[in-house]
Structure 1
Amino acid sequence: MSLSRSVSKDGPQSAAVVEKAGDPNDLFERLFDVAKRLKLPRNSWAVHCIDKDGVRDIVFSQVLVKHVPKVTALYLPKTKLTGKDEITTVYCPKTVAIKSDASVTVSLMGVPVQAIEGVPSEVASGADVERLLEAVDALRVCRGGPNKKVYPGAEPESAYLDSLDAWRHYRCPLVLTEPGELCRLCRSLDPTVRLNMERKLRKQRAGFESVRIPSSVMSQDVLLLRRQKYRLQRSNKRLEGRIHSTLQELDDLRREIKLVEEETRGQCSGDPCSMD
């Protein structure tokens, strides 16, 4: 996302009054001046005008607080809960950052997103920034799959841990376009993560150490070893088939030899064999 070359002037009536700005640096500087007076979507949003080591940034962030009862307090009514009965998590689900180089970045759950349907990709004024914030605030964000505490020790290859320690599918769209709190991919993670944990526990009980090789960092050597393994498995199956066929032929030969011996003994008993 980028800023176009017009911007709100810090006027007496509103921080969103527009004035043309020919220089992108002037554009950012004027936004920096009015940022703290822009209208935010709701009380959970805040603006931070950062000036450090001569570099300026404007960051709009939404902060939410999640209260989860501790195991010992799960059966207490909400009205009876106190701070000591809860696990409190403060997190930032949405941010909009405007850097001093005039670039705009929208992040959801700490992950930068390039293009979102219905969200402006450029801002030309303070009013545009307000509309951008309203659009981002209206987005419904997928809450991800099961928390890592639900299936301890699991290491699924198809998911990563997000900022809330929830397993999130690598292809999670983040923005929900269907009803519900989870996307289809993250909804499918629960059985996947559970089976991964159970498989790891079985290996540990059997005395094997489970080693995960992420597909994203898999080397060419590992791929070659896997191909060789599959070739050996196919070769072993062919050999097993040949051995089985050979053993069957041997059994048939033994039966034929036995029949010949029985016929020979019968002939000798009826007409005594003589030797010259």
Structure 2
Amino acid sequence: MSDFPIVRRRHPWRWVATAILVLLAVMLAAKVASNPVFVFQAVADYLFEPRILSGVVVTLYVTCGSMAIGLVLGVVLAVMRVSDNPVINRAAQLFVWFFRGTPVLVQLIFWFNIGIIFPSITLSLPGGEVLFHLSTNSIMTPAVTALLGLGLNEGAYMSEIVRAGILSVDNGQREAAKALGLPPWKVLSRIVLPQALRVIVPPAGNQFVSLLKTSSLVSVIAAGDLLTQATRIYNENFHILELLVVASLWYLVLTTLANIGQYYIERRYSRGFVQSGRMTAFSRLRGFRGSSAGALPKGDRPT
């Protein structure tokens, strides 16, 4: 065993910076706590209020539904983008160009008022007999409008993510699959897409988190989401900041859960490509407790 003890490197400026940040945080918390205008009890009272919880459910429904539409549409558009058919390729490019180039808020308001242009959906025979007639306003409810608007917009962004994943797969994989006699749809579903998922999952997870927050825009069409319910409540009791804090806390919880799920999905599809020694929060905590007790990692122990 070596006679020289292992001494950890000192970082005094880290402690100074930490102390300054903690002091600023304490000062800010004291300032907010001493403010008579902000009612902390209102935050606790409305955090689990039934209308707030129903808004959380609607937010999850809109987010997951729109993401499902975006994923399916994104895969279809990505396949169209890599197609050799110029008509299909240009059509997909036009779709992506339009929905990525216009604000999602404008798209939501447009779909909500589509009944102005098309008051009804009618299917009739050439002779004039009407087979099907339905009012557009009865279809385009706030929930359907939110799913359609956010889903189409998400499909445009997901198509670029999926296309990047498809292009990341080596072309030799496709050539080998074709040489084995696999049809194009099997090459795509069994060879290309499973390997592309490693590249698709991280940005797709970021898109889901972004969509979760973007879903608050559906409050302009009163879709019953979390922000809509918070707005309705503070219009009754005028606790504006308190209800906004309640909504923000729920968004933080939902995005945190989404980030945790994204981490484990990424780790699942990255097996064999990256080192598997990436530590989770629990393993980091165990390692910290072990090192604080004087234990050294196995590779650093003196021999």
TM-score, length of structure 1 as denominator length: 0.17
Higher relative contact order (Cα pairs below 8 Å, separated by 6+ residues): 2
Counting helix residues as a fraction of each chain, which structure ranks higher?
2
TM-score, length of structure 2 as denominator length: 0.16
Counting strand residues as a fraction of each chain, which structure ranks higher?
1
